[in-house]
Amino acid sequence: MAERDTLPVSTLLGSLAALVAGAALLALLVPTWYRTQESALRAERGWASTPAETKQVKSSQAERLAHYAWIDKQKGVVALPIERAMELSREELSKAQGGQGR
């Protein structure tokens, strides 16, 4: 009778248990890693997670767009209100086009 190459049942069950344990570990670690990355991305981009935070972020952004502020005082770089910046851009465009139209 020919000798058959077979794995012992204990080896097969041990391998299966290791595979299941690895999958369970990944199932726990991946969502945790994702949440930390998502939080970092939200903070970096200024995204809010609640309606109150969203309202506060939008209010802060509107405030920044409506007022003058120093960006780099030593270099003389200033943030302009958005309306004033658009006026200056239109004036520059008009000058570049030789004073034609608006």
Per-residue pLDDT tens listing for the chain (102 residues): 556 677 788 888 999 999 999 999 999 999 989 888 887 887 777 676 677 877 888 888 888 889 999 999 999 999 999 899 999 999 999 999 886 654
78 and 71 in contact (C-beta within 8 Å)? Answer: yes
Radius of gyration of the chain (CA): 31
70 and 77 in contact (C-beta within 8 Å)? Answer: yes
Region at 70 (left for phi over 0; alpha for psi -120 to 50; beta for the rest): beta
